[in-house]
Amino acid sequence: MDEKAFAATDDYTKPKYYALVEFPYPSGQGLHVGHPRPYTALDIVARKRRLQGYNVLYPMGWDAFGLPTENYAIKNHIHPKIVTKNNVARFKNQLQSLGYSFDWDREINTTDPNYYHWTQWIFLKLYKAGLAYKSEMPVNWCTSCKVGLANEEVVNGVCERCGSPVVRKMKSQWMLKITEYADKLIDGLDSVDYVEKVKVSQRNWIGRSNGAEVDFSIAGADDSFASIQHARILYLV
Ligand SMILES: [Zn+2]
């Protein structure tokens, strides 16, 4: 690591290769097996590209804002900044023991004011463009964690993290108008180099819908083609 053997350089004579994995949330438990799996796969690719003469950027960082940290900090009366710092140190130590070829010079942490300064900047841009707005919406509310949960975080009607009952609750919350880009996202899938199953899952997730057309014949009316009364309904879903 001291030798900076895996640091990307500003050498523009070499072809560039950017390998990016999802940054982990540094929990108190340390790495789980789901972390090394994608890191190892991409580490192999990054090393191969370096051997092929590419200037490789393979960064690592910490997606460190999180409810478990907040709850742990409240319960144990430790400042969340200290909890996060300790968890990051543990994760980093574990990743380095595994010998990954990350460029540690580019390490980022989402709880670092120098980093979230830019997420706030982007949010204001979205807000001014009318793409971030407040709305009263029903949310999945964990009765114990006291936060709204994503649908994916509700498993069999209970909170995935703590197992407490989840109720529907009306809350005023910030929304991002991602639907504004649904068509663009779907059309863009035709021109990217993704494996087909990822494209299919993206299409299903975004879910373009142009509605449906249904013809109803009226009961009691003559059966001949000319007399069928068409009640045509176009609905959008
Ligand atoms: Zn919970």
Q: What is the pLDDT of residues 159-217, one digit of tens each?
A: 988 899 999 999 888 999 988 998 999 999 999 999 999 999 988 888 777 777 887 77
Is there a contact between 144 and 162 (Cβ–Cβ < 8 Å)? Answer: yes
pLDDT at 237 (0 to 100): 40
pLDDT at 217 (0 to 100): 77
Q: What is the C-alpha to C-alpha distance for residues 17 and 9, in angstroms, rounded to an integer?
A: 11
pLDDT-based confidence at residue 236 (cuts at 50, 70, 90): very low
Sign of CA dihedral 80, 2, 54, 91: negative
C-alpha 159 to ligand 1 mean position (Å): 5
- The model's pLDDT over 39-72, given as tens digits with 9 standing for 90+, comes to 999 999 999 999 999 999 999 999 998 877 887 8
Q: In the chain, which residue ranges form alpha helices assigned H by DSSP?
A: 36-51, 67-76, 80-97, 113-128, 182-188, 196-206
pTM value is: 0.71
C-alpha 142 to ligand 1 mean position (Å): 5
Mean pLDDT of the chain: 88
Environment of ion ligand 1 (residues, CB < 5 A): 142, 144-145, 159, 161-162, 164
pLDDT-based confidence at residue 223 (cuts at 50, 70, 90): low
pLDDT at 1 (0 to 100): 63
C-alpha 25 to ligand 1 mean position (Å): 17
> How far are the Cα atoms of 7, 29, 142, 161 from residue 71, in angstroms, in the given order?
36, 14, 13, 11
Q: Is 139 exposed, middle or buried (0-12, 13-18, 19+ CB in 10 A)?
A: middle
Instruction: Concatenate the DSSP letters of all residues of 104-161 into one string.
Output: GGG-EETTSHHHHHHHHHHHHHHHHTT-EEEEEEEEEEETTT-SEE-GGGEETTEETT
> How far are the Cα atoms of 36, 46, 70 from residue 41, in angstroms, in the given order?
8, 9, 32
Average pLDDT over residues 219-223: 66
CA 154 to chain centre: 17
DSSP letter (8 states) at residue 3: T
